Amino acid sequence: MNEECGVFAGILFDKNENIIDKTIKSLSSIQHRGIQSCGVCISYCGYNQMLFKDSGLVSNVFNFHKKKDFNGNMAIGHVRYSTVNGDLRENAQPLKIKFKNDYLYLVHNGHIPNVLVIKNELSKTAKFETQTDSEVILIKIISEFEKNNLDISFENIGKVLSTFFDKGAYCLCFLYKDKIFAFRDKFGFRPLWFCQTNDGFFVASEDIAFKDFNIDKKIEIMPGFGVELDLNNFEIKKFDYSHKKKMCVFEHIYFSHINSNIFNYNIFEQRKKFGEIIAKKNIKLKNRCDIVVPVVNSGICAAISVSKVLNLPLNFAILKNKKQNRTFIEVENLRHKKIEQKFKIKKELIKNKKIILVDDSMVRGTTAKNLVGNLYKAGAKEIHMLIASPMLINTCLFGVDIRDQNELIASKYKNVKNLSKELGLTSLCFIDLFDIKNIYPKDEYCFDCFL
């Protein structure tokens, strides 16, 4: 089950303060990472844990009345997206498992390629209640602890992860009694951040989760490292090691929030850089086109650079329905319908114009085809589309919503001219993989979906 989710964890120093508001604000800030379900586990100093999760957005699941039900100074939380059984409430997180007389709670972002092998072995003695990789991780940890008579600690959890899940992509947060443990896999596929404020310690998938906090210290957790939190202290520790990093470049292209900092790069600046690359490759359009039009919100950063390099007006002629979510992470049966509702075109800005349409990526091509058709209906004379990433032609094992190459329009039409014709474009251009690789340190990023 491929997932692209968001995790959060935190501890407030004052036992009498309630962490629920910070938890909900942080989960709302990383809502773009998962829109199908969400959940929290709130605890008072390791006691009186309260777990609640449901399908839907954070703002709907944790409304004013629901928030009043929670009271505690410790929390872990999750926003979830998955393509398989994505709307099933039982797959929502956090998950929990009993260990001795207490419970271990877990939230997870990532994907474990060898999960079925581990699950089949565990199924001989364990019962599974969800279809998630996360439950396999949780049950395997407890199985190893019981078999080897181990207690729950950062070191012991880290040993299980490095031994049995060493091929996987994961960022994990655990809540156990009065401690929180967080881990980032040794390849660093997914991002994980830690921050300290005047009132607590916090961990999240992206630093945008801390935007409303008064931050004293902020640290991006390195691959193979994690952090242990309690009421009085935090400690960043190493638990695994790899000679090779495989950070997902799609975090920079699409997944992460525009205001986040991921893998030591600012997302806004990276996406502008991608736009500069694709603009310079298409400098001939400078004298052929009238305006640059971004696909909002995904194409804005790149379009800023395209407009600057080509010295053409940046025209926000495509408006987004604020109530619509990201259609890339919608399940298939909703995607086509929601794309039709997602955008509104300002016809007076398009009529009789030759436009450069800019977006950050092209996956299935559904959004592009719909937009192109509507732009022509609005009176566009020519549409030249620039995609600020390479052609997406391969499936991903580590958490991107690509189960079958047949879903990828660039895989079907490997010739750009044929793909352009299919979409009804005047011309179409992608960034060359060689060019995008050149702006990153050698052998530190995963580009497999472009190969």
Q: What is the DSSP string of 58-96?
A: HHHHT-HHHHTT---SEEEEEEE-BSSSTT-GGG-S-EE
Domain end marker among 213, 245, 277? 245
Q: Are residues 164 and 286 in the same domain?
A: no
Q: pLDDT tens-digit profile of 66-123?
A: 788 899 999 999 999 865 555 567 889 999 999 999 999 999 999 898 899 999 999 9
Going from the C-alpha of 270 to that of each of 304, 441, 442, 450, the distances in angstroms are 12, 14, 17, 18
Q: Are residues 106 and 23 in the same domain?
A: yes
Q: Which residues does 233 contact at the CB level (< 8 Å), separation at least 6?
A: none
- Separation of alpha carbons 299 and 253, rounded Å: 10
pTM higher than 0.95: no
Q: Are residues 209 and 331 in the same domain?
A: no
Q: Are residues 11 and 108 in the same domain?
A: yes
Phi and psi of 195, rounded to 5°? -145, 150
Question: Phi/psi zone of residue 57: left (φ > 0), alpha (ψ -120 to 50 degrees), beta?
Answer: beta
Strand residue runs (E) in 388-441: 427-430
Q: Which residues does 124 contact at the CB level (< 8 Å), separation at least 6?
A: none
Catalytic, out of 5, 41, 195, 449: 5
- pLDDT under 70 in the chain at which residues? 1-3, 65, 82-88, 322-341, 399-403
CATH number at residue 201: 3.60.20.10
* Contact (Cβ atoms closer than 8 angstroms) between residue 150 and residue 156: yes
* Contact (Cβ atoms closer than 8 angstroms) between residue 2 and residue 401: yes
Q: Are residues 300 and 359 in the same domain?
A: yes
Question: Residue 251: inside a domain, yes or no?
Answer: no
Q: Are residues 194 and 287 in the same domain?
A: no
How many structural domains is the chain composed of? Answer: 2
Question: Residue 250: inside a domain, yes or no?
Answer: no
- The pLDDT, as a whole number, for residue 336 is 47
- The pLDDT, as a whole number, for residue 88 is 66
Question: Residue 259: inside a domain, yes or no?
Answer: no
Question: Residue 252: inside a domain, yes or no?
Answer: no
For 219-245, give the DSSP string: EEPPTTEEEEE-SS-EEEEE----S--
- Separation of alpha carbons 204 and 207, rounded Å: 7
Residue 289's nearest CA partner among 373, 382, 368, 358 is 382
Question: Residue 258: inside a domain, yes or no?
Answer: no
Q: Are residues 231 and 278 in the same domain?
A: no
Question: Residue 106: inside a domain, yes or no?
Answer: yes
- The pLDDT, as a whole number, for residue 243 is 87
Q: Are residues 98 and 197 in the same domain?
A: yes
Local structure of residue 207 (DSSP, 8 states):
G
- Separation of alpha carbons 275 and 25, rounded Å: 31
CATH number at residue 446: 3.40.50.2020
Question: Residue 255: inside a domain, yes or no?
Answer: no
- The pLDDT, as a whole number, for residue 328 is 47
Sheet holding 47-55, edge to edge: 47-55, 37-44, 74-80, 6-12, 200-204, 193-197, 215-220
* Structural domain for 286, as ranges: 265-450
Domain end marker among 245, 275, 309? 245
- Look up 429 and say whether it is catalytic: no
Quickly count: other Cβ atoms within 10 Å of residue 155's Cβ.
12
Q: Are residues 157 and 284 in the same domain?
A: no
Domain end marker among 192, 215, 245? 245
Q: Are residues 207 and 302 in the same domain?
A: no
Question: Residue 74: inside a domain, yes or no?
Answer: yes
Q: Are residues 40 and 189 in the same domain?
A: yes
Which DSSP helix (H) or strand (E) runs through 320? strand 318-320
Q: Are residues 152 and 277 in the same domain?
A: no
- The pLDDT, as a whole number, for residue 401 is 58
Which DSSP helix (H) or strand (E) runs through 134? helix 133-148
